[in-house]
A and B are shown apart, each in its own frame.
Chain A
């Protein structure tokens, strides 16, 4: 996969991500694409992630498609969060973490020397397990990213658009200047989604976004995800298999197994397919055991 210089330059600046997406999609070679009309956003080939000597994820091959929701499921310690964090280079922040293999984003090698992780994270937003609004006003939370990136658009418009996109506008429009910490857990998580979308990303990575929320708040986030996939490619890590079944188009099942070479447990991708297939006729026995609740 070769990448041309203009594409990499455009990753460093801040502009509407989707304009680049359209350009890149046109140049995409179709060879690695699965049987789908959608364009691949991420292509992982033989990806392994190490934390110092510990191999957290081993040899993952996976293609994430444009405007789809892809769910990563599996027991604790199977490396699904680690895998998710390779997509926006969040693992770079952990000392000793390194990725081996090839990971491309719209055909560009994400781990190439001339790719700036900061520019990557502006295009590939992230929502975390625990709602983590800044101890600032609702308005300033949303404006945080656009202010750093610099934008010509009116900030009030960005705030309104982002909050509407996260289904939070009606609830907070009269108290934009009050602290984000005064919101309920579910509202805080939707605020974090709005904050992530305020910089016009192309992909949203969600790391167990509902695990700290009650079922009603979870339902709202799931509805929101289904609406948002029109505009974004979403990858979600979840412990909740029903959630994966409800929202995702494709599901990747990871598990942790003993690596005979190192005698340590490491994360493996067992099976990756359409969600309907994974939950009705999984090809691998381990997947079936997991989704029927026999382990994990």
Chain B
């Protein structure tokens, strides 16, 4: 009896080797997470420490001042303005077109050769380097449509960035639509809803949080792009916006935060390094603000749907 108990205890207490493998795997996972986290911290620390000379002396003044030859007066206000306008134009153009295209592909197109072809094209477009979109923007929005956009303007830049994020908006929207359980659509049809009613009242509301997160992240991504707007012609030097009307501003010279960072780092004098880092902090703030809006709206939508 005692012998049996001892044997049973031994069997029950043995650690299986697979458990050890699980532990190793888990450590690797935590390690990967730590690396991602460390990169984030390093980015923030570098930006903030290098920008410290400016952030400690005139944080608000730096954000609200216009560009200047004088390092002690130069600020990034025009860059912030430009980046926000670019993001607004990009969102205004890419969201409706991208979401519309995705709804068509997922809900209406069916499994036709055309739909499969479009799908492949969209996925490939998502992988095209951003500078290529810059060349497209230069040819079409600055060149062919220059009369409408005003040439090297914030409109041309915004449209270029809209082309850049369009495939990403389409893909993320498609994925959000696919994630809606088929049973929900079935329930809608079962009550006698038409296809459009099912899409409008069942599928889209259920997919909205996912669509929103994906699309806003794509805008945050576009706001940080330097290459395409550099090609399209964002300014890197000092310029005056003065007392231009809204339309003149939209069609006139523009700059954006990534361009300003680029411009600051090109300056020979060491003193501008702090400006580049300061502008980086500003762009991080813009992106974080955009993401926060997305997270907030998503949380609200989720609450409305679940509670």
State the A residues within 8 Å of B (CB): 88, 90, 93, 95, 118-123, 125-128, 130, 132-136, 144-145, 148-149, 178-179, 181-182, 192, 195-196, 199
Contact = CB atoms under 8 A, between A and B. Distances in A.
B22 interface: no
Given A130-B183, A134-B202, A148-B201, 12 more contacts: A88-B190, A90-B186, A120-B192, A122-B192, A127-B190, A128-B187, A134-B184, A135-B206, A148-B191, A179-B307, A182-B307, A192-B187
B194 interface: yes
Contacts, number: 74
30 contacts: A90-B186, A90-B190, A95-B111, A118-B192, A118-B193, A120-B192, A121-B189, A125-B191, A127-B190, A128-B183, A132-B187, A134-B187, A134-B188, A134-B202, A135-B206, A135-B305, A135-B306, A136-B305, A144-B188, A144-B191, A144-B193, A145-B192, A148-B192, A148-B193, A148-B201, A178-B307, A179-B307, A182-B307, A196-B190, A196-B191
A127 B184 CA distance: 12
Nearest to B190: A126
B186 to A, nearest CB: 6
Contacts of B202: 134
Contacts of A134: 184, 187-188, 202, 206
B109 to A, nearest CB: 12
Given A128-B187, A135-B206, A179 B306 contact: yes
B129 interface: no
Contacts of B192: 118-123, 145, 148-149, 199
Contact of B190 (A128, A130, A135, A181): A128
Contacts of B186: 90, 93, 128, 132
B197 interface: yes
Given A128-B183, A132-B183, A134-B184, A144 B306 contact: no
B191 A199 contact: yes
Contact of A135 (B110, B189, B205): B205
Size bracket, chain B contacts: 20 to 34
Nearest to B110: A95
Nearest to B182: A132
Contacts of B201: 144, 148
Contacts of B96: none
A149 B307 CA distance: 26
Contacts of B194: 118
Interface string B193-221: 11001000110011000000000000000
A125 to B, nearest CB: 7
Contacts of A192: 187
Nearest to B187: A132
A121 B305 contact: no
Contacts of B184: 132, 134-135
Contacts of B191: 121-122, 125, 144-145, 148, 195-196, 199
